[in-house]
Amino acid sequence: MAEIKAFFFDQDGVIIDTEKDGHRVAFNRTFKKHGFDFEWSVDEYHNLLQISGGKERMSHYLHTKGFGKKVKPEDEAELIKQLHHDKTDEFISMLEKNLLPLRSGIHRFMREINQRGLRLAVCTTSNQRSAQAVADGMLPDIRFDFILAGDMVSKKKPDPEIYLTAMNKAGLKPEECVVVEDSENGVTAGKAAGMHVVATTNFYTEKEDLSRADIVVSCLGDPNGEKGELRAGGDGLVYDGVLTVEQVVDYFSF
């Protein structure tokens, strides 16, 4: 098999557990700021997460349930754009206040990638401002080769476009790349791109069908912190709750 040369990370739910207490809260604060009297509950947002992209989620909700007051068709695009801009401001403010810590094992795992001289990139449906804020503000000592955000591709996950774009940008083959994802849409995108996939579950995705991933763990784990559990895949992997880059590279080299 080919040598592993790159790791491509999703952001939300993988690098930080953002969805339930991050993006959802930021959306709700933004709706209130703009005079809308509805909120997305935990369960409602879970349903909306099956749609990739924040602007796309808002458009879907507007068309199916409405915003509680009439929005003229000619005003919709600009409203969604403004809501998403303001929601990103709210989300970045939460990051700056350290309200959303890194998931267990992320910093260690990325540092190991850097130490081995492998390529490292973020491939997210979030916009560029959010992705850059996470990389610069929460992982300042990690070297990223590039960051691909949702607005840089025409098709969102589960379409593989973002991972194919990353592969081409890195000048690699699919079998040389490992995707780290957390959702069914993300896993589907990674496998459709022909890549190896490691999935880390979270509150919203632990009950999703992640069976197409090669390895499924509850988190990457830290030696002196939260340990992960092997949920599926990883046949023959010696796993003690801390998944290392060396283990992953070796696993996909056989």
User: Looking at 12, 17, 182, 222, which residue is catalytic?
Assistant: 12
Residues 6+ apart with CB under 8 A from 53: 125, 150, 156
Q: Is 159 a catalytic residue?
A: no
Contact 4, 120 (CB under 8 A): no
DSSP 8-state code for residue 205: T
Burial class (CB in 10 A: 0-12, 13-18, 19+), 184: buried
Distance CA(97)–CA(141), nearest Å, equals: 19
Q: Is 10 a catalytic residue?
A: yes
Distance CA(72)–CA(79), nearest Å, equals: 10
User: Looking at 10, 17, 214, 222, which residue is catalytic?
Assistant: 10
Contact 7, 118 (CB under 8 A): yes
Distance CA(61)–CA(65), nearest Å, equals: 5
Q: Which residues have a catalytic role annotated?
A: 10, 12
